[in-house]
Amino acid sequence: MNTKTHIDQSLIKTDEMVLNMGPQHPSTHGVLRLKIHTDGEIVRKIEPIIGYLHRCFEKHCENLGYEQIVPFTDRCDYIASMHMNHGYALALERLMGIELPPRVEYIRVIVGELQRIASHLVALGTFGLDIGAITPFTWMIRDRERVLDLFEYLCGARLLYNYIWVGGVSHDLPEKFIRRTKEFLDYFTPQIDEFDQLLTFNKIFIERTADVGILPPDVAVNYGVTGPSLRGSGVNWDLRKNDSYSVYPDLEFDIPVGTGQMGSVGDCWDRYYVRMLEIRESIRIINQALKAIPAGDVHAAIPKKVRPPKGSVYSRFETARGELGYYIISDGKNIPVSLKMRSPAFCNLSVISEIAEGWMISDIIAILGSLDIVLGEIDR
C-alpha cells in the first residue's frame, strides 16, 4: 500500500531563486536592473546590470563644439543639472585659463547650492518612498518645486538649465531673485524640522534603516564611493573643502559626516542623515553668498570662440551625488578629441554588490535608495 515510506530529500531540496528587479520596477530609480539571487527573503548575490539608458554622451561630445556640449551635460544627471554644467565649465576654464568675474562665481555657488537642496530633497523623498513612507515624498517634492520655480525665474527652464556656460552664466540674476531666494530660505528652514519629525526620527524608519547596509570606510574608499554616501561612512571628504574651487574657500560651512548616531557608522540612516544635514549647510552657504555677492558683468569673461589650447585637463567637482570628473583632451580645434566623464553614481552603485549581500529584499531597496543613484548619469 504505502509505496513511499520516507520523504525523498531530492524532491524538497531548496534552491536559489533568481529575481530580476527591474529595469521596470518602482524603486530602482530609473531603468536599472538588479539580478538578485535569493534564498527565501535573504539575498545571496546581487548583480547590477546597467546600460538601459545609454545615450552615447561621450561619443556625441567628440562631434560637438564645446559650447554645444553644455546642454548634453544637463541630460546626464537630470536631478542636478546645474552641477553638471558647472563641472564642465570648470574643466574648460581650467584648460583655457579663464579668470571669472567674482559675481559669476557667487551666482554659480548660489544656484549650485540651491540645486544641491533640490537634489537632496528628491533623494530623501524617494528614499522614504522606498521604505514605504509616501507623505514625506510629496512634502519634499512640494519644496523642491519652489527651488525649480526660482530656477525658472532665473533661466526659464525647470529641469535642464543650460545656465552655466564656459566663462560665465547665460543670464544675470533677475531683479527680484535675491529677495525671492531669501523668502524661500525663510520658508524652507522650518520645513526641515518638520521632515525630521515626520521621517528622520520616526521609530519605524530608524528600525528599517539603522544598522542596515553598513558601508565600512575602507570599502567605500576602495570602491571609489564619493559624496554623501562616502561621508555617511564617516570619511570627511568633500571637494568643496579638500580641492576647493570657485568661492568656496571664502565661505564658512561644515562637512557633516556619519556618526553612527542610531546604529553603526555607514548604515543607511547615516547616509540619509548626512544629506539632511547638508541641506542645512547649503542654506548657510546661500545666506552668506547672497550677502557677499558683488556687482559686475556676468558675460565679461565668456570667450568669443571656445578653442582651448592643445593639451588635456582632468577637473573634479563635488555634485550632490559625489565627485564628478571631466577629462578633456584638446588638439586646439573647436571640438574635443575626447571627453570622458567620471560619474559619481556609477562608482556609488558598484559598491552595492559588496554591501547588500546577506540582507533581505526589503533592505536591498533601502540600500539602493540610500546610495541615491541617477541612471542618466550612470549610463550616460
Partner 1 sequence: MSEIWTSTMEIFTSYGSMISLAGVAIFGVMAVNALVAVYFERKVSAFMQDRLGPMEVGIFGFTGGKNFWGGIGQTIADALKLLTKEDILPDSADKKLMILAPFIIFIGAFVTFIGVPFSSVLLVSHFNIGIFYIIAMSSVGVVGIILAGWASNNKWSLYGSLRSAAQIISYEIPAGLSLILVVVVAGSLNIHQIVEWQADHRWFIFHSPMTVLAFFIYFISGVAETNRTPFDIPEAESELVAGWMTEYSGFRWALFFLSEYANMLIISILASVVFLGGWLSPMELFSVFPDSWLILDGVWWGAFWILIKAIILIFIMMWFRWTFPRLRVDQLMHLCWKILIPFALMNLVLVCIWELV
Phi and psi angles of residue 80, each rounded to the nearest 5 degrees, phi first: -135, 65
235 binding partner 1? (CB under 8 A): no
Determine the straight-line distance between the first and last CA of the chain, rounded to whole angstroms: 67
213 binding partner 1? (CB under 8 A): no
371 binding partner 1? (CB under 8 A): no
365 binding partner 1? (CB under 8 A): yes
Task: Tell me the site size for partner 1, rule CB under 8 A.
Answer: 29
DSSP string, 7-32: --GGGS----EEEEE-SS-TTSSSS-
44 binding partner 1? (CB under 8 A): no
232 binding partner 1? (CB under 8 A): no
String marking each residue 77-96 x if it binds partner 1 according to CB under 8 A = --------------------
Of 207, 211, 243, 354, the residue at the interface with partner 1 (CB under 8 A) is 207
Q: Which range, of 86-94, 132-140, 218-226, 287-295, touches partner 1 by CB under 8 A?
A: 132-140
Torsion region of 234: left, alpha or beta (phi above 0 gives left; psi -120 to 50 gives alpha): left
Residues listed for the chain = 380
String marking each residue 133-172 x if it binds partner 1 according to CB under 8 A = xxx--xx--x------------------------------
Phi and psi angles of residue 339, each rounded to the nearest 5 degrees, phi first: -135, 125
> Three-class SS of residue 362?
helix
**CB of 328 within 8 A of CB of 95?**
yes
Binding to partner 1, residues 2-41 (CB under 8 A): 17, 19, 25-27, 41
62 binding partner 1? (CB under 8 A): no
**CB of 378 within 8 A of CB of 356?**
no
Nearest to 378 by CA among 76, 28, 34, 26: 76
Closer Cβ to partner 1, 22 or 256, answer by number:
22
Give the pairing of strands 33-39 and 168-169.
Answer: unpaired
Summarize as ranges the residues that interact with partner 1 (CB under 8 A): 17, 19, 25-27, 41, 128-135, 138-139, 142, 198-199, 202, 204-205, 207-208, 360-363, 365
